[in-house]
Amino acid sequence: GGTEAPVTDNLGVVNIPVVVHVVYSNAQENISDSQINSQIAVLNDDFRASNSDSGNVPSEFANLVADSEISFTIAGVNRYSSSTQQWGTNDAVKAQYPPVSPSTTLNIWIANIGGGILGYAQFPGGPASTDGIVISPQYFGTTGYVSAPFNKGRTTTHEVGHYLNLRHIWGDGRCRQDD
């Protein structure tokens, strides 16, 4: 095959402001600003194709790596002490601590989901009151209260992909839902 010119939308880099809601029931879950910043750095590296581990891309996809021209910046960090120890996946944490400006801001709740769940996201088109993603604190970022092997910030990259309407490539809903 020949080389094709890259497709461009002429928008330049689109920045997405991020509000992080840290909801903690103990000191470990009240993650540090440096842990939050480490996650934003991973998002920027992954979505701008400047991550240092590009050697992990399977060879059949290596020539398809692209800069998505999406960047992320912290627009605010809200911290909430809560007696709730596990939030589950029913958006209870979002109801208790509502999103900030969901039409213009990515809201990320850092809260212990429980049940071995790393994170979950709302796809575009859902209610504004639940717009955003939830990540358990030990799977957010690369430093601080993180748990190997999920200590590289990729859970959040994965969930932000869903937030941006990317499906799993391995068969969510048969051929009707695949990327």
CA Rg value for the chain: 17
**Residues in a beta bridge with 109:** 21, 134
- Residue 135: CA count within 13 A, CB half-sphere: 32
Question: Which residue numbers are catalytic?
Answer: 159
**CA trace torsion 162, 165, 171, 175 (10° rounding):** 170
Q: Is 34 helix (H, G, I), strand (E, B) or coil?
A: helix
